[in-house]
Amino acid sequence: MQQTCILCTSHHGGDLGLCAPCLADLPWHSAAQCPQCALISNGGLCGGCLSAPPHFDAAKATFTYNYPLDGLLQHYKYNANLNLARTFASLWIDYQHGLSTTSRPIDLIIPMPMHEKRLTERGFNQALEIAKQISSAFSIPLDYTACQRIKYTPSQAGLKLKERIDNIRGAFLCHRPLHNLNIAVIDDVMTTGASLNELAKTLKQAGAARVECWVMARTLPK
Ligand SMILES: [Zn+2]
Ligand SMILES: [Zn+2]
């Protein structure tokens, strides 16, 4: 089905709502990167992951968090444009399929949990909506109740890494054993990775064997 392109309003938006030229212009994360945290590297582990390895084992991002994708993600999040969940999921799946990286089978998908209070404010969990699409496309089970966000944290935006880490400590609680499971955690944006790292720590404490971060966009340091 042809839709209007959400970025340039041409009538060739295809079924994802993005025309071919706008798609080509998106900030694809195609540079050589660290397989563990998706920051730019020579393709091997970056200095940060070597000196202080995060609790997650891999990070897969399709875009860098730059124009115009940043605006598109914000539009999705704050204007509840839920059609975009399918667009982001499809773009993520197609892009990751095209990469030749070997990936291990994932047993379970867990979307980044949102605190109940935040959920009431926003009306939906942006990570859950994308995760539902990826779960059904890959036929991998999704468990949104496995893990809960028990700490209401103010927006992490504008905080320094150390403040983000302090802020997020103890934020998650896991309700079921996850012994030997390979888990993919889905989130919209990976900024410092502090939330994903804390969640991965909690999942591993519950027995997870491996945790991958599947994110739409990665913020790169300026
Ligand atoms: Zn367009
Ligand atoms: Zn790294």
Within a domain: 14 = no
The span from the CA of 193 to the CA of 59, in Å, is: 10
Within a domain: 13 = no
Task: State the DSSP H helix or E strand holding residue 215, giving kind and residue range, or none if neither.
Answer: strand 210-218
Within a domain: 45 = yes
Which pLDDT value is given to residue 21? 96
52 in Cβ contact with 44 (< 8 Å)? no
The span from the CA of 152 to the CA of 108, in Å, is: 25
The predicted model gives 175-200 an average pLDDT of: 96
Which pLDDT value is given to residue 55? 98
Within a domain: 57 = yes
Within a domain: 6 = no
- Residue 159 pLDDT grade (very low, low, confident, very high; cuts 50, 70, 90): confident
34 in Cβ contact with 17 (< 8 Å)? no
Ligand 1 center–CA 68 separation, angstroms: 11
Express each pLDDT in 22-77 by its tens digit: 999 999 999 999 999 999 999 999 999 999 999 999 999 999 999 999 999 999 99
Ligand 2 center–CA 124 separation, angstroms: 31
CA of residue 27 relative to chain centroid, distance: 16
The span from the CA of 175 to the CA of 146, in Å, is: 5
Give the domain extent around 207: 20-218
- 174 forms beta bridges with 147
The span from the CA of 173 to the CA of 17, in Å, is: 37
Within a domain: 10 = no
| Residues lying with their CB under 5 A of ligand 1, a single-atom ion | 5, 7-8, 10, 19, 22
- Check residue 61 and give left, alpha or beta (phi > 0: left; psi -120 to 50: alpha): beta
> How many separate domains does the chain show?
1
Ligand 2 center–CA 57 separation, angstroms: 10
What CATH number corresponds to the domain at position 193?
A: 3.40.50
Within a domain: 69 = yes
Within a domain: 7 = no
Ligand 2 center–CA 152 separation, angstroms: 28
- Residue 157 pLDDT grade (very low, low, confident, very high; cuts 50, 70, 90): confident
Task: State the DSSP H helix or E strand holding residue 60, giving kind and residue range, or none if neither.
Answer: strand 58-64
The predicted model gives 184-188 an average pLDDT of: 98
The side-by-side arrangement of strands in the sheet containing 210-218 is 58-64, 210-218, 182-190, 108-111
